[in-house]
Every structure is written in structure tokens, then in C-alpha cells.
């Protein structure tokens, strides 16, 4: 091996040498070079000089004498401990005894080498660097475990909120939509009813955001054109952006579709754009929004979301960049925490929900920011194979088309839900019976098995849940259609049935027309099958 090849093979090493003798410091650097390192050394011999060195840059290794005129080993160790730095610390001394060395290692030093035996230096350094890497790996794994436990706890909370909150919303949304359908109110009253319906639907979106942040959200995936979706939301967010903030669009045409839940991606884009506009504030500034495609020939590590890296392939990106105040590293590390804000309180789950949405779509999110230089958020989604559908509206369904007949059994522990579902189905021509839990529902069905044509069954109930009640109902009469209803989504409901068919599904909250349409479709399908 040539001298040039040896130099290229050396491993860079940033070394802080705590030593009052320049000659001894040079010897240590020489010994490290002989051992295959390329040390970048800085020598300090006072507390002030060491403090300045620690602030100036990170260090891979500290080599320290034991006894110095203006500095002591315990002081050096304390300075590292006070800053929370876990840097390999090796004592190199001609005077240290065994008892003093043991005391120093108890205080935080990792090893010691005598100056007359520097042949031990490189092996000691290699061992401590390896141990330091293992400690860092262990800390990283512990942090990932902590994040996973936090998400699991939030997922449990979100599940409880989703169940109770969506039950209340079902009562509000179902009754308000039913009033609007069966009554021809004056225009001012109609406007108020429409506001109640819209507010209920937005509240349902908030519940889904909680589940998305916790990584528990399941999405209705379809091909989505990201550029078209961004164009849709720009008109909505313009009214919330200060007049002095200029919005610039650079949206690529003909993008590959992404497999995504369109409502969740809209929420993600709105959160990022509004966050960027608020960072600019009332001063003149700019928010730039761009879409396009990036290709990776090799796996790419994830920037913000823990887990395996992104595989090679094509990715559709969304970039939102602002000329606002920017963030320092401490703020940037916290922006995805729920309810964290640098603004006024009550900001909620904006960026936290955005992170959950990206995670749920198997994408990645990257943030670049510096104080006074603005911020840039980049989201990557795997490009899909299907084409996005053309924008359009489906045919309007008239009320008479949803009308039907027959006996329906509504089983739900929440009285608001039972009343709303009963009122809606009665208005569409059905006879409705109620039960307040799964056990009561099974007993009522057992007594009326020949009359009941369909069962609307809640998934989460006390006494007996929807899974057990469905099995018992099917054992009494296998052909009876069952519609499972839940604040969770259909995939979660299917999982709860442990591989057995969950039947048909409707997610809470639902409108009166939505419920009637689902019931009519299920009954019509059964009649066709005979």
C-alpha cells in the first residue's frame, strides 16, 4: 500500500486534547495517525478554553491529562456532564495512580493510558469509539420506543374520543340533515341548518385527524392528482391568508396519480399552506407551492418519520416554502408534537396531524428552516400506477329514490344515535325497533326473527359488543343482512371481526340520506340475489 493510499484510508477524528504541554499533545496526535486516524486536534489547558471549544463544534474524542497547573480532570469531566455530552473520554497521564484512575472513571472517564505506554492509546480509543456508537444506537432505539409508546397511548385516547364524539355527531348531523330534507324552511332557516351540517362534518374531520396522527387512521384510497387537489384548496385558504402574503404556484401537469385519501391530503395541504402563511405574518412575504416528481435510484432514509427508508422508485412531491421568520433547531424538533405552538394557544393538531397523514400514506416529510430564512416543507408520496379520475359530480339522488319498506332493528347504546336513525328511517318508509345493547338486540331479534328485514348494529357497546351480537344473530337466521356502524372506519371494523365477514358497513356520523341510501342498497342487493 502506498503512502497516498494509506492517507486516504485514514479515518477522520475530531480530538479535543486537554493538556498543558504542546509537545505531549503533538505526540498524542502522532500516535493517532500511526493508528490509522486523521486527527483534527485542538489543545486546551483552561476551563474557559475548553468551554469555548465545546461550544464551537462537536468532538469525537477527548484526551485529557490528569494534573495541570490551571485545570483539573474533575473540572473537565464536570463540563462534559453539565452539557449532557457523551463523548469518549480517555485519560493520558504520567502521574495517575490506580486509585485515582478508578475514581476518575467513576466520575465519567472511560479509560486511562500512561504516557510511557502510548502503544495502548489507539486500541483504547478504538474500543471507546465503538462503545460510544453502541450507546448512541441504544439511545436512538429507546427514543423510537418512546415515540411508539406515545403514539400507542394517543391511539387509545383517539379511539375513545372517536367513539363518543361520533355518536354525538351522528345525532346532530342525522337530525339536522333530516329536518332539511323533510321540511321546506325559509331561506334563512335553511342557511342555519346547512351551517349545522357543515360544522358537524368538520367536527368529524377533526376526529379522523386524531386517528391519523396516532397512525390508526385508515384511508379510502383512490387515485389522486396532487396538482389538481392543490388548485382546489387554494381558493379556500386565500381568505385566511394576510393580504400582503403572495401565493405562488408551480404545479406540474400530468403528474402520476398517488394512491391516497383525497380528504386527508386536502387537510395536509391546507395545514402546510396556512402554517407557512402564518409564519410570514402581516409583513410582505411569499408562500410558494410546488408539485412534481422525484426519482430515487437507491433507497433513501426517511427525514422525519422513523422506520425503514423509502425504496427506490418514483415519488410525487409537494413543497411548501415561505419567507417567514424560520425556526431554530429546538423549535423544529417540536413542531410535530400535538398542541405545540409558537403562536397563541389552541392551535390544535395542525402539523401533528400532517405528520400522521403522511405516515399513513407511507410517505415522508422533510423540513428545512433557519431563523430569519424561512422554512421549506417537502412531502413525498409513492407514485401510483392508476390514473386519477376526471373531476365531476355524480347525479343527484332524489328523496323518493331512497324510500323503502320493511322492518329495521337499530341496536346502539347511545340514545341520540338510536333516535336519529329511527327518525330518519321512518321518514323513508321503514318500521323501526330499537335495542340499547347487543344482548337486548339479540333477544329482540330472536322474538321477531321472521319480521325483521335488516339490522343496524353498533360495533362498540357495553354488555355485548357488535362482534358477538352479529355472530349470535347469524346463528339464529344466517340470511338476515347486518350493517355495522362505527366511529372507526371499515378496515378497523373488519379487523375487529378477526377474519370473519363483518358484512356491510356505515361510518358514523352519517346523514339521514346517507343512512337511507345504505339501507336501500343492501335490501335491493338481497332481493336481487333472491
Chain centre distance of CA 136: 24
- Rounded Cα distance, 38 and 28, in Å: 12
| Residue 439 sits in the same domain as residue 340 | no
Of 286-295, 297-306, 362-371, the range with the highest mean pLDDT is 286-295
User: Where do the H-state alpha helices sit in 65-120?
Assistant: 73-82, 98-106
| Residue 165 sits in the same domain as residue 286 | no
| Residue 323 sits in the same domain as residue 423 | no
Burial of residue 371 (number of CB atoms within 10 Å: 0-12, 13-18, 19+) = exposed
DSSP-derived secondary structure letter, 252: P
- Rounded Cα distance, 384 and 472, in Å: 42
Residue 127 lies inside a defined structural domain of this protein: no
Span 250-272, pLDDT tens digits: 999 989 999 988 878 888 888 89
Is residue 33 very low, low, confident or very high in pLDDT (cuts 50, 70, 90)?
Answer: very high
CATH number of the domain enclosing 165: 1.10.287.130
CA-nearest of 362, 395, 394, 400 to 381 is: 362
Q: What phi-psi label fits residue 339: left (phi over 0), alpha (psi between -120 and 50 degrees) or beta?
A: left
| Residue 267 sits in the same domain as residue 362 | yes
| Residue 472 sits in the same domain as residue 499 | yes
| Residue 21 sits in the same domain as residue 85 | yes
Q: C-alpha dihedral over 251, 253, 257, 263, to 10 degrees?
A: 40
Decide if pLDDT at 45 tops 50: yes
CATH number of the domain enclosing 343: 3.30.565.10
Phi, psi of 364 (to 5 degrees): -145, 155
Among 102-111, 132-141, 501-510, the minimum mean pLDDT is found in 501-510
> Of how many residues is the chain composed?
530
Is residue 348 very low, low, confident or very high in pLDDT (cuts 50, 70, 90)?
Answer: very low
- Rounded Cα distance, 113 and 109, in Å: 12
| Residue 439 sits in the same domain as residue 496 | yes
pLDDT of residue 5: 42
Give the number of other CB atoms < 10 A from CB of residue 258. 26
Decide if pLDDT at 70 tops 90: no
Decide if pLDDT at 28 tops 50: yes
Split into its structural domains, the chain has a count of 4
What is the full DSSP assignment across 299-361? -B--SSS-SSPBPSEEEEEEEEEE-S----HHHHTTTTSTT--SSSS--TTHHHHHHHHHHHT
Decide if pLDDT at 344 tops 60: no
C-alpha cell at 19: 493538556
Residue 119 lies inside a defined structural domain of this protein: no
Decide if pLDDT at 232 tops 50: yes
Q: Can you give the residue range of the structural domain that contains 421?
A: 400-529
Mean pLDDT of 441-454: 95
pTM of the predicted model as reported, rounded to 2 decimal places: 0.53
| Residue 26 sits in the same domain as residue 91 | yes
- Tell me what the pLDDT averaged over the chain comes to: 84
Among 63, 83, 109, where does a domain finish?
109
| Residue 172 sits in the same domain as residue 264 | no
User: Where do the H-state alpha helices sit in 183-225?
Assistant: 187-213
Among 382, 415, 439, where does a domain finish?
382
pLDDT of residue 453: 94
| Residue 404 sits in the same domain as residue 373 | no
Strand, helix or coil for residue 453:
strand
H or E element at residue 53: helix 47-56
Residue 128 lies inside a defined structural domain of this protein: no
Percent of the chain with pLDDT over 90: 41
Contacts with 163 (C-beta within 8 Å, 6 or more apart), sequence order: 460, 486, 487, 488
CATH number of the domain enclosing 442: 3.40.50.2300
Mean pLDDT of 459-467: 89
Among 109, 137, 164, where does a domain finish?
109
| CA dist 277 → 238, 269, 287 (Å) | 10, 12, 6
Burial of residue 422 (number of CB atoms within 10 Å: 0-12, 13-18, 19+) = buried
| Residue 208 sits in the same domain as residue 232 | no
Decide if pLDDT at 216 tops 60: no
Residue 340 lies inside a defined structural domain of this protein: yes
| Residue 460 sits in the same domain as residue 502 | yes
Residue 141 lies inside a defined structural domain of this protein: no
Decide if pLDDT at 63 tops 90: yes
Span 405-443, pLDDT tens digits: 999 999 999 999 999 999 999 999 999 999 999 999 999
Span 491-515, pLDDT tens digits: 666 777 765 666 789 988 888 989 9
Residue 522 lies inside a defined structural domain of this protein: yes
Phi, psi of 446 (to 5 degrees): -60, -40
Amino acid at each position: 500500500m502506498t503512502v497516498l493510499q494509506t492517507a486516504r484510508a485514514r479515518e477522520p477524528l475530531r480530538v479535543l486534547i486537554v493538556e498543558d504541554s504542546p509537545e505531549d499533545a503533538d505526540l498524542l496526535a502522532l500516535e493517532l495517525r500511526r493508528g490509522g486516524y486523521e486527527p483534527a486536534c485542538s489543545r486546551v489547558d483552561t476551563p474557559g478554553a475548553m468551554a469555548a471549544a465545546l461550544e464551537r463544534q462537536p468532538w469525537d474524542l477527548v484526551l485529557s491529562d490528569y494534573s495541570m497547573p490551571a485545570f483539573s480532570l474533575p473540572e473537565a469531566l464536570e463540563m462534559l456532564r453539565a452539557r449532557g455530552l457523551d463523548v469518549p473520554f480517555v485519560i493520558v497521564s504520567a502521574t495517575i495512580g490506580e486509585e485515582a484512575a478508578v475514581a476518575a472513571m467513576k466520575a465519567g472517564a472511560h479509560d486511562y493510558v500512561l504516557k510511557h505506554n502510548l502503544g495502548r492509546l489507539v486500541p483504547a480509543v478504538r474500543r471507546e469509539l465503538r462503545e460510544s456508537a453502541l450507546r448512541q444506537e441504544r439511545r436512538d432505539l429507546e427514543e423510537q420506543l418512546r415515540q411508539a409508546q406515545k403514539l400507542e397511548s394517543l391511539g387509545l385516547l383517539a379511539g375513545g374520543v372517536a367513539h363518543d364524539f361520533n355518536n354525538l355527531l351522528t345525532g346532530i348531523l342525522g337530525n339536522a340533515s333530516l329536518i332539511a330534507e323533510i321540511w321546506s324552511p325559509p331561506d334563512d332557516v335553511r342557511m342555519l341548518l346547512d351551517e349545522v351540517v357543515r360544522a358537524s362534518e368538520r367536527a368529524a374531520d377533526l376526529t379522523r385527524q386524531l386517528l391519523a396522527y396516532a397512525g390508526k387512521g385508515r384511508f379510502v384510497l383512490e387515485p389522486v392528482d396532487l396538482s389538481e387537489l392543490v388548485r382546489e384548496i387554494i381558493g379556500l385558504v386565500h381568505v385566511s391568508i394576510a393580504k400582503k402574503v403572495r401565493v405562488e404556484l408551480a404545479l406540474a401537469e400530468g403528474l402520476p396519480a398517488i394512491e391516497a385519501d383525497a380528504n386527508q391530503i386536502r387537510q395536509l395541504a391546507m395545514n402546510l399552506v396556512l402554517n407557512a402563511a402564518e409564519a410570514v405574518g402581516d409583513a410582505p412575504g411569499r408562500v410558494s407551492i410546488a408539485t412534481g416528481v422525484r426519482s430515487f435510484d437507491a433507497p433513501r432514509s426517511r427525514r422525519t418519520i422513523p422506520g425503514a427508508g423509502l425504496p427506490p422508485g418514483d415519488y410525487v412531491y409537494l413543497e411548501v416554502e415561505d419567507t417567514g421568520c424560520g425556526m431554530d433547531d429546538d423549535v423544529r424538533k417540536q413542531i410535530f408534537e400535538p398542541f405545540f405552538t409558537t403562536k397563541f394557544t389552541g392551535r390544535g393538531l395542525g402539523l401533528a396531524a400532517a405528520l400522521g397523514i403522511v405516515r399513513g400514506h407511507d410517505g415522508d416529510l422533510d423540513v428545512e428552516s433557519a431563523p430569519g430564512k424561512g422554512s421549506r416543507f417537502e412531502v413525498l408520496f409513492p407514485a401510483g400506477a392508476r390514473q386519477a379520475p376526471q373531476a365531476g359530480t355524480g347525479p343527484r339522488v332524489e328523496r323518493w329514490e331512497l324510500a323503502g319498506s320493511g322492518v329495521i332493528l337499530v341496536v346502539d347504546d347511545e340514545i341520540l344515535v338510536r333516535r336519529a336513525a329511527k327518525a330518519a328511517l321512518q321518514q323513508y318508509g321503514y318500521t323501526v325497533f330499537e335495542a340499547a345493547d347487543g344482548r337486548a338486540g339479540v333477544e329482540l331479534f330472536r322474538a321477531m326473527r321472521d319480521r325483521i328485514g335488516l339490522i343496524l348494529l353498533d360495533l362498540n357497546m357495553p354488555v355485548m359488543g357488535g362482534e358477538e351480537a352479529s355472530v349470535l344473530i347469524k346463528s339464529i337466521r344466517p340470511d338476515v343482512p347486518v350493517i355495522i356502524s362505527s366511529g372507526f372506519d371499515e378496515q378497523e371494523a373488519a379487523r375487529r371481526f378477526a377474519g370473519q365477514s363483518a358484512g356491510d358497513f356505515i361510518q358514523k356520523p352519517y346523514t339521514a340520506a346517507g343512512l337511507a341510501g345504505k339501507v336501500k342498497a343492501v335490501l335491493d342487493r338481497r332481493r336481487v340475489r333472491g
